[in-house]
Structures are given as structure tokens and as C-alpha cells.
Structure 1
Amino acid sequence: MSKASTPAPRVPDELRRRLGVADAVLIGLGSMIGAGIFASLAPAARAAGSGLLLGLALAAVVAYCNATSSARLAALYPASGGTYVYGRERLGEFWGYLAGWAFVVGKTASCAAMALTVGAYLWPGRTHAVAVAAVVVLTAVNYAGVQKSALLTRVIVTVVLTVLAVVVVVFPTSGGVETVRLDVGADVTAGGVLQAAGLLFFAFAGYARIATLGEEVRDPARTIPRAIPIALGITVGVYALVAVSVLLVLGPDGLAAAGAPLTEAARAAGADLLVPVVNAGAAVAALGSLLALILGVSRTTLAMARDHHLPHALAAVHPRFKVPHRAELVVGAIVAVAAATTDIRGVIGFSSFGVLAYYAIANASAWTLDPSEGRPARIIPVVGLSGCLVLAFALPLSAVLTGGAVLLAGAVAYRVRRMLTGSSRWRRSR
């Protein structure tokens, strides 16, 4: 196990540090306060029933532990790649690679899910076409530079928070809304709450985007530990208020049966004029998530390409825009193909499994920190690691099997590459 006490060595083709605390927080909010709050409440309610809020609280606890571990590690290793870098430096090359593999593959699936969500809300009859168009446009925005991405994220977050604020204020006070008990009923099971937490965690995972932008943040040792908990805290508060508001309108059973929970809650509350507003907010939220996801996946791809775990050509940084332009174009192309050919329900569970595996490695890495390196309280990485593993295996069986198979395939590919590399080195030494 490697326990380096100094940041990773300087890498070639450094990115430009432009983002302050506010920009980093907004990128995190754009990742978290996205399509998840519009889409994940219904499946979580189906799993947990009246225990939905317990699942939300559990997901928030695990997310807090993950955020704290990630923030301490990001301050020590302010380089693009997030847990790919932390795992490599603290646990060894294989664990860093596995984290990067889980992130790139899982979040590529998330990109496709967000793009399809945009299409479903904007033009249900042309979902796939709109999804591909969204990927192309946002890849172009990211290609033009991270500052432009941060500015667009600022607009998106403002719009989404405004829509959700209207939901929180209007729904519970609208005429015709019946009082619904929010206490836990006899139908709630531990397994249901855990599965709901795993599904809701999908919507919390965006704070990783702040860590993966380590090379583009000003004063990362100060900025990243501040930005991550601020973004997470705002998100938890927003999600809790929205969940309570929708439960008050639809109740656990109505929410579980809803295809578009916030839209149906608007109708049930007698606020039909809000339906197009909610639909537009959902589409904008998904765009915000997609923007930040492409940003984060391309940076982890850059870090893995620098270490030759992916084609080294993807490590190129544009001389003018100072972004990993080849990685962004490749990621955008793969996401566009996935958005054109897959179904949203088939990618969310797989993505959740990969994200939880990624954060499990982050917490294991944080456990190895010394007090002089800013180690968090021991209970934080312990709860974070165990929570990630429990929630991952509480997901639907198909997601567990698919996610496990992909992680295993990545591990086998790593082993084969090491064997081939070792063999070629032996032949050259002869």
C-alpha cells in the first residue's frame, strides 16, 4: 500500500486553474440538483413506501461521508481524475485503475440517462433524437473551455432551483391537497429502505465532479474542501423539501405509481399552469447534469490516458482552450451512440452500482491518511465504505450482476495488460 504524504508529481500539459469556490459549488449543484430529483422519487417510493424519507436520510449520510473523504483527498491530490488518483496513490495502481474504470463506464451510462431524460421531457415522440442533439451541443460547450461550462451551469442551476422553490411553496398550499401522514407505516422493510437509498444516491453523486476538476480549481487545498460540503448541504435541503411536498400531495402510493412525479403532483394539486414549468425545469435539470457529467468523465479519461490505462492520445490538452479536447470528443461520441440506442431504465441501475464502487475506493483511500494529511475522523471512511457496499448490493439484482460483470471485465483487462507489458519488457531486456 502506498501512503505518499505529498501530492502527486506534476503532470505534463497542465490545465488552467480558473474556478473559484462559487464556480465549484455551482458545478456540484448542477450535477446533483438535476434529473435525479425529477425521476428517482417514484422508484424509491416503490421500494420503500412510506419509508421514502428514511431512504433519503440514509443516502444523505453515506453521501456526506463520501464527500468528506473525497474533499480531504482532493485537497492533498489536486489533479484531474478524482478517486482514480486517490486510489492509485494510497492503495496502489490497481485500485486507482478500478476506480477510474468504474467512474468512466458508470458515468458514461449516466450521461446517456440524462440525455434521454432531456428528450423525454422536451419531445417524448423524438426522445432519442433530442438526446443525441443535447450531447452534441453540450460536448461543444465543454470543448470551448471550463469557464464557459461554469457560466452555463450557473444559469441552469438558477432555473432549476427556481422551479423547485415554486414546487415547495405551491404544492402543499394549493387547494384540493389532502393531508397525508408522513410517518413510517407497517409496509416498510429494511431492504426496501436500503434499495430506495441506493436509488436516491444516484442523484447525490455529483459532488465528485468538483474533485475531478482538481487541476482547474484555484487554491484547491482551500476551495475543494469548502465547495463539496456546501454543494451537498444545499442539495440535501432541496431534496428533502421537494420530497415532503410531493408526498403531501400524492402520498406514498400515488408517488410510487407516478411516471413523472412532479408533473403529476402539479396536476393533483390543481396547479395545471405549473405543468409546462415543471416539464421545462426537468429538461433543464437534466441538461445541467449532462453538462457536468461529460466534464467529469472526460477529466478522468484524461488522467487514465496519462497513465496509459486508456489510449495515450486522449491525454492531449488543447493549446488554446486548455481542455482535454480529444477525451471530450471521444466521450461525447460514445454517449451519443448510447443515447441513440439504449433505454433509460437499463442504464440507471448499472450507473448506480459503478458510482458506489467508485466511492467505496475513495473511502478506503481516506482511511490511509495520516493526521498531518488532514485525515477525517475514522468513523467517516468506515461508514462511507460500508454504506457504499451495502447500498450497491441492495440494488436490483440485474444491476448488481451487470455492474459486477463490468468491474470484473475491467480487472481482467488490467491484468492482461500488465502481463503483456511485463512480457514485452522482459523481451526487450533480453
Structure 2
Amino acid sequence: MDRLARRLGVPDAVVIGLGSMLGAGIFVVFAPAAAAAGGTGLLVALALAGFIAFCNATSSARLAARYPESGGTYVYGRERLNPFAGFLAGWGFVIGKTASCAAMALTIGAYLWPGQARLVAVLAVVAVTAVNLRGIGKTAATTRILVLLVLAVLALVAVVGATSVSIDRIDQPGGTARGVLTAAGLLFFAFAGYARIATLGEEVRDPQRTIPRAVPLALGLVLVIYLILGVVAVGVLGADRLAASAAPLADVVGAVGLPGLEWVVRAGATIAVTGVLLSLLAGVGRTTLAMARQRDLPAGLAAVHPRHQVPHRAELAVAAVVILVVVLGDVRGAIGFSACTVLVYYAITNAAAFTLGREPERKLPVQALAVAGLVGCVLLAVNLPLSSVLAGFGVLALGAAWYALRSARR
């Protein structure tokens, strides 16, 4: 069986995690989250989503250290629960993240050239796939550059916006409890990238040491950044204006009287989303590889390029599907749909981690965190917008039906 080369250390793994998360939350989901929960509710939802993500990160890190293979929870579900649980996790991840890739690509198009958003999106997918096909080392190096540029732009927004933050705008009546849960489910979409480190587990050096360090470090850094930007966005724009904004951070800069800097923020948004797309396509390709190895997807997709050590057929297949969705689909509801399937994915992660039992050498109550993560994922998933819940669970049901039919034929 072809194996992938172990080339990633802690810094590279953290960078890939940052590149997977930074951008989606700040540039995409802050507005709908504010519409669901209000100003104060948005911050509460952000903290809740961060806590559940921390629970999931702890479970993911434990499992990835035990099973350092490509595929993430697809592998963990198979090994710790049963083959169907693994299949359902992998199916949900591939379908949900493919929709996310299309949404990110269309976001790039909307920022760069709104009149030709689909064309730009297709070109972005082709360019990012070309980078990934050169090898995971190229992916990490490119992501490192993108992360540094994005951090610079976000620091600019935070510093400029901090001068005009109003406590009165933040301290407004929040939304309902259901609204906070809905917002938390949408915001969870912004944290999901930390598991890309685990998904790439077969390419990490010394995974028992690297993964448990890199996952919580990347997640902690992003949570701090999100909280700072969340306070600035709500404090400058207020909940109503934030909810209606198509480009919240650009509007923050414009609201403080510096409209000339808006183009810098828009460029930063494009860079951030490109980083998300880069790591997303890599992660989906690796999960597709793992599923193909087990014949849950066509076996031909399990090939690894002899020179670049990447799952080239899987990545090309994923890119082709993403381009099809970009050309024919609509990004409306894609975030909610993706969040629903990914929350189910992490529910399975926590269930698998619980079977590892207690680990006395760990200071954290890992079993309690696994239970909290499982309950939290289910709670957030069912409180997403109804259309997202129906679409997400509908696709999961189709996958389950395919699995049952295939098993019966075997």
C-alpha cells in the first residue's frame, strides 16, 4: 500500500490549522451569527462554539496520536466504534467540506471580481489544486505566507477599530437561547479547521508528540483572535449593522473614518479565504484517499503520486466536484449545511475518543470533555436553521442507504 511521507513538524501543523480556520469565521459567518443572536449573544455563542471546539480538539488529538493516519474520524470511527460509524463520518466530512470549498471559492470571486465571481472561483480552485499537487510541503509553505499576511490585516482592523468601540453597542439585549445556539452552530464552522492537522496525520513527524501540541495551540490562537475581532465588530457596528453587513471588517474600517483602508481589508479577506480553500482541499483529498483504501469510495482514488507523495487522483476528483458545484450551485445555505454535517462528524469523534478510557497521565478530564463535546455537537446541529438541518441529515441518510446497499451486495 502506498504511504504518504512524514514531513510536517509542530510549526507547520499549527500553520495549517491556522490557515484552515482564519478567514471563515471572521469574513463569512459573523454577520449571520449576529442576525441570529444579537450583539452580546454573538460573543456568548462564540465562547460556546470555542468550548465545544476545544472538547473536540482534545478528542481529535488523543485519537490522532493513537492512529496517525490520513482520514481523521473516518479512521477513528472504524477503529474504535464500527465500520458504519467511520463511513458516516467520512461521508459527512467529504460532502460537507466539498460544499465548503465551493463556498470559499465563490467568496474569493465575490471579493475580487463580483461581476465574474464564478469564473474567478473556478480559477481559484484550479490554482489551489495545482499547489496541493506539488506536495504537502508546498501546501504548508504557501499557507505560512497566507497566514502572516492575514494576521497583519486582522491586526490592522483590531487596532483601528479599537479606537471606536462603544460598550453601549456591545451591552445590548441578546437574542433568545435558541438564537445563541444557532449562532454557535454557525460559528463552529469557523473553528472546524483545527482537525485538518489530524486529517493529515500520516504526514506529521512524531505524531504522538506533534499532534497533541499543535491542535490546542492552533485552536487557542484562533479563539483569542476571534474574540478580539468579535468585540471590535460588535462594538463599532452594533448588532443590527453587523447582521446586515456583507463585509463586516471592511465596514469596521469604513465606520471609523478610514475608507481608504477598505481595499486592504478586502485583499486580506481574499488571502484568508484562499488559505482556507488551500487546506480544505488538502483535507478532503486525504479523507477521500482513506475511504478509497477501504473501498468505501472507488479504489482508483487511493493512488499516491510516486514523486510528490500526494493523493493526486483523490485531489483531482475533489477539485472537479467543487468546480461543478461552483458552476451550477448556489452558496446560500452552504455554511449551515457544512456545519451540520461537520458537527455530526465531531460527535462521532467524541464517541470514539470516549472508548479510549481514562488517561491518568493527562491533567485534563478527557472523558468528561468527550461527553461534553458529543452532547454539544448534537445540540448545536439540531439548532441550526431548519433548511440546513434537513439538507445535512438528508445527505447523511443517503450515505447510510448507500452503505447498506453496498453491504447487502457484498
Give the TM-score normalised by the residue count of structure 2. 0.97
User: Pairwise CA RMSD of aligned residues?
Assistant: 1.3
| Mapped contact 2:31–2:244 kept (Cα < 8 A) | yes
What is the CA-CA distance between 1:188 and the residue it aligns to? 2.1
Question: Aligned letter for 2:394?
Answer: A
Match of 2:146 in 1: 156
Alignment of 1:201-216 (within 5 A): 201-216=188-203
Measure the CA separation in 2 of the matches of 1:83 and 1:418.
21
| Mapped contact 1:363–1:382 kept (Cα < 8 A) | yes
Match of 2:377 in 1: 388
Measure the CA separation in 1 of the matches of 2:404 and 2:36.
38
Secondary structure of 1:109 counterpart: helix
Moved more, 164-173 or 15-24: 164-173
**Out of 68, 75, 83, which is 2:73 matched to?**
83
Match of 1:339 in 2: 326
**Out of 302, 306, 310, which is 2:297 matched to?**
310
Larger Rg: 1
Deviations 1:108-128 (A, max 9, x none): 000001101110111111110
**Out of 104, 110, 114, which is 2:104 matched to?**
114
Match of 1:63 in 2: 53
Give the TM-score normalised by the residue count of structure 1. 0.93
Question: Is structure 2 residue 51 aligned with structure 1 residue 42?
Answer: no
Q: What percent identity do the matched residue pairs reach?
A: 61
Measure the CA separation in 1 of the matches of 2:80 and 2:165.
54
Match of 1:102 in 2: 92
Measure the CA separation in 1 of the matches of 2:129 and 2:360.
36
**Out of 254, 257, 262, which is 1:275 matched to?**
262
| Mapped contact 1:72–1:374 kept (Cα < 8 A) | no
Question: Is structure 2 residue 20 aligned with structure 1 residue 25?
Answer: no
Deviations 1:39-98 (A, max 9, x none): 211100000012110000000000000000000000000000000000000000000000
Deviations 1:160-186 (A, max 9, x none): 11000001111122xxx3624255544
| Mapped contact 2:358–2:367 kept (Cα < 8 A) | no
Q: How many residues are treated as equivalent by the alignment?
A: 407
Question: Aligned letter for 2:20?
Answer: S
Question: Aligned letter for 1:293?
Answer: L
What is the CA-CA distance between 1:191 and the residue it aligns to? 0.5
Secondary structure of 1:344 counterpart: coil
Measure the CA separation in 2 of the matches of 1:82 and 1:182.
41
Question: Aligned letter for 1:230?
Answer: L
| Mapped contact 1:28–1:228 kept (Cα < 8 A) | yes
Match of 2:284 in 1: 297
Deviations 1:404-426 (A, max 9, x none): 110000000000000001xxxxx
Question: Is structure 2 residue 82 aligned with structure 1 residue 92?
Answer: yes
Question: Is structure 2 residue 212 aligned with structure 1 residue 222?
Answer: no
Deviations 1:26-45 (A, max 9, x none): 00000000232112111000
Relative distance call for 1:259 and 1:365 in structure 2 (3 A) is same
Measure the CA separation in 2 of the matches of 1:178 and 1:362.
39
| Mapped contact 2:22–2:190 kept (Cα < 8 A) | yes
Secondary structure of 1:152 counterpart: helix
Relative distance call for 1:321 and 1:14 in structure 2 (3 A) is same
Deviations 1:196-250 (A, max 9, x none): 1011111110011100101100000000000000000000000011111111210
| Mapped contact 1:43–1:256 kept (Cα < 8 A) | yes
Measure the CA separation in 1 of the matches of 2:126 and 2:3.
26
Secondary structure of 2:68 counterpart: coil
Relative distance call for 1:252 and 1:352 in structure 2 (3 A) is same
Question: Aligned letter for 2:355?
Answer: T
| Mapped contact 1:35–1:282 kept (Cα < 8 A) | no
Moved more, 319-328 or 248-257: 248-257
Measure the CA separation in 2 of the matches of 1:250 and 1:132.
33
Question: Is structure 2 residue 247 aligned with structure 1 residue 260?
Answer: yes
Question: Aligned letter for 2:271?
Answer: V
